[in-house]
Chain A
Amino acid sequence: METTDYKEKLPDFIDGLLSREEEKAMYAELAVNDELLTEYKVVKSILDTAASSSGTFAPSAALTNSVFAAVGIEGATPTPFFRKIIQPKYALHYFVPLAASFALIFAVLWNNKGEKVSEPSENKTQIASTETVPAAPAISEESKLTTYNKESLPPREKIFTQMKEENPPQENADLAVNSVEPDLNMVSSSDFAADEYVDEDFDEFAEYESDYLLASHNFENNFYTVRSPQLTMANSNFGFLPGHFDPDEVTCQHFFNNDNFVVELKNAIYFDAENKSAPSAKFNNLCVDVMYKVNKHLFVGVDLRDESFTVESVPPEGIETFPIKSNFNSDENMVDLNVTSVGVIVRYIIPLRYKSLQPVADLVAAKCSKGVVCRGGVALSYAPSNGISFTLGIEYSNLIYKDGYDYASTAPKYGINYGIAYNF
Chain B
Amino acid sequence: MSNYSKYCDDELVKFVRESKKSVKDMAFCALYDRYSAKVNAFCLYKLGRSSIATEEVFQQTWVRFYNSLIAGKEVQTVLPFLISIAGNLAIDHYRSQQLRRKHIKEDVESEVLEEIALPGSLQGVEQNELGEMIQTAINCLEGIYKDAFVMKRIEGLSLEEIAEIAGISISAAKQRVSRATNMVRTILAPYVKDYIEV
Contacts and interface: CB of A to CB of B under 8 A. Distances in A.
B128 A49 contact: yes
Interface stretch (B11-19, B83-91, B98-106, B108-116): B11-19
Contacts of A74: 25
Contacts of A99: none
A336 B2 contact: yes
Interface in B153-198: 153-156, 174, 177-178, 181-182, 184-185, 188-189, 192-193, 195-196
Given A39-B185, A50-B134, A63 B59 contact: yes
A49 B130 contact: yes
Contacts of B47: none
A12 B193 CA distance: 20
Contacts of B14: 316, 319
Given A53-B154, A317-B19, A318-B18, A70 B40 contact: no
Contacts of B37: 54-59
Contacts of A8: 178, 182
Contact of B23 (A47, A59, A67, A404): A404
A42 B29 contact: no
A11 interface: yes
B131 A317 contact: no
B25 A319 contact: no
B71 interface: no
A41 interface: yes
B168 to A, nearest CB: 16
A57 B45 CA distance: 11
A331 to B, nearest CB: 12
B26 A76 contact: yes
A67 B127 contact: no
B25 A47 contact: no
Contacts of A56: 37, 124-125, 127
B28 A73 contact: yes
A10 to B, nearest CB: 7
A337 interface: yes
Interface stretch (A168-176, A294-302, A321-329): A321-329
B22 A404 contact: yes
A266 interface: no
A283 to B, nearest CB: 13
B-side interface mostly? helix
B130 A45 contact: yes
A59 B36 contact: yes
Given A17-B174, A71-B62, A76-B1, A46 B192 contact: yes
A416 B14 CA distance: 40
A66 B66 CA distance: 14
Interface in B45-96: 55, 58-59, 62-63, 66-67
B22 A50 contact: no
Contacts of B2: 76, 313, 335-337
B38 interface: yes
A76 B3 contact: no
Given A41-B196, A45-B196, A51-B153, A67 B3 contact: no
Contacts of A337: 2
A338 B124 CA distance: 28
Given A8-B182, A67-B59, A335-B3, A42 B192 contact: yes
A336 B5 CA distance: 12
B28 A336 contact: no
B182 A314 contact: no
Contacts of A317: 18-20
Interface in B113-135: 122, 124-125, 127-128, 130-131, 134
Contacts of A404: 20, 22-23
Most interface-central of A38, A73, A75, A316 (chain B CB within 10 A): A316
Given A11-B178, A335-B3, 18 more contacts: A10-B185, A41-B196, A42-B189, A46-B181, A46-B184, A46-B188, A46-B192, A47-B181, A50-B149, A63-B40, A68-B32, A70-B63, A78-B1, A314-B19, A314-B20, A319-B18, A326-B3, A404-B22
30 contacts: A7-B185, A11-B177, A11-B178, A11-B182, A11-B185, A39-B185, A42-B188, A46-B181, A47-B153, A49-B134, A53-B125, A56-B124, A56-B125, A58-B36, A59-B36, A64-B32, A64-B36, A67-B36, A67-B58, A67-B63, A77-B29, A315-B23, A316-B18, A316-B19, A316-B20, A317-B19, A319-B18, A319-B19, A326-B3, A326-B6
